[in-house]
Structure 1
């Protein structure tokens, strides 16, 4: 029996669209460990980005 590959991300990883760009982030429990624009270096998680990530996580629960 052939199983289809899983296309899910590892637990704690997330991706959102923010400010017309793709942001990838990693959660460490309830804390945002890091965030970056796709393919770039890490960025500071300010209050606006934190709010966007938290709203996205609430939608997916």
Structure 2
């Protein structure tokens, strides 16, 4: 009795990409984008991030 493989045991990776191997991934809709923010909003976000990072530094030095 010879064994003929009739099913896959997961030895071959499955590529579910819908684009070619040389083309970049298609753009996806983002819920928010820093490019759509106003300059004032970007500066405010930068200040919040900076304050958070300084808080981490100060807590680490404590």
Normalising to structure 1: TM-score of the pair? 0.29
Normalising to structure 2: TM-score of the pair? 0.29
Identify, as 1 or 2, the structure richer in helix. Answer: 2
Please identify the structure whose Cα radius of gyration is greater.
2
Choose between structure 1 and 2 for higher RCO, CA contacts under 8 A separated by at least 6 residues: 1
